[in-house]
Amino acid sequence: MGLDKSDVIVTTARGVHADALAEFALLVMLAHVKDLPRLQREQQAHRWERYCCSELSGKSLTIIGAGQVGARVASLARAFNMEVNAVVNRPSPERRAELFANDIFGQADMRVAVKHADYIVLATPHTPQTEKMIDAEFWAATKPGVVFINIARGQVVDEPAMIAALGNGQIGFAGLDVAAKEPLPPGSPLWSMPNVLISPHSASTAPSENRKITDIFIRNLRHYIDGNPDKMINVLDKARMY
């Protein structure tokens, strides 16, 4: 309490998990587009039957909350020849270029940005402004059968509305690294939904994590000791709390 009014400098691990989270997002997209569940079922049944799957090339991806993680998702998606659109706080031509985006939208136009999306990646911070912003009205604005990937925070999503959208097919498939309550309660219907892939908030966990965090800490500590706090990176914006 009161941190926003203090002179205390707080730094974060922003960007440390960008590669791992972006790879998880691509994992979900590829598992969906190549119908990985079918392959697993056919293998278990010892059945060899050729089938036709789709491809990511030409598909539309909207990234909501495109910071460093979103930028990494965008760069990988473009490598698969996807159309990339992004929702950011302050859209500009410079931000569009940084995110490799075909188009860029402000938060007020979020539902316009997802209208034609085949895939949606949620990577926005959890703040009072983003609390449950992915609600029933949001899903009503999306294309039926959209694929949803949450690598943000569970509290950004109205979970009952998402479960309803998964049940009626508005969401065709979801890859969820987070939940409104963690651990995900044993009685949650998400566990048994066939169109849901659950990750136990582990998509960001990689062997390089501690090294990257330590590198940021050491760099910032050196600047602080040398009296150059203006050179510190990942300084927390206390107004926005990220």
- The model's pLDDT over 181-238, given as tens digits with 9 standing for 90+, comes to 999 999 999 999 999 999 999 999 999 999 999 999 999 999 999 999 999 999 998 8
Locate 185 and state its tokens: 């309660």
Band (pLDDT 50/70/90 cuts) for residue 121 is very high
Q: What is the CA radius of gyration of the chain?
A: 19
Q: According to the model, what pLDDT value does residue 1 have? A: 56
Q: According to the model, what pLDDT value does residue 238 have? A: 85
Distance (Å) of CA 207 to CA 12, 177, 202:
19, 18, 12
Contact 100, 75 (CB under 8 A): yes
CA 43/CA 5 separation, integer angstroms: 59
Mean pLDDT across the chain, nearest whole number?
95
Q: Within the chain, what is the greatest distance between any pair of CA atoms?
A: 67
| pTM greater than the 0.75 cutoff | yes
Residue with tokens 């079918």: 38
Q: Is 202 exposed, middle or buried (0-12, 13-18, 19+ CB in 10 A)?
A: exposed
Q: According to the model, what pLDDT value does residue 242 have? A: 79
Q: Supply the residues annotated as catalytic.
A: 153, 182, 201
Locate 91 and state its tokens: 């859209």
Q: Is 61 exposed, middle or buried (0-12, 13-18, 19+ CB in 10 A)?
A: buried
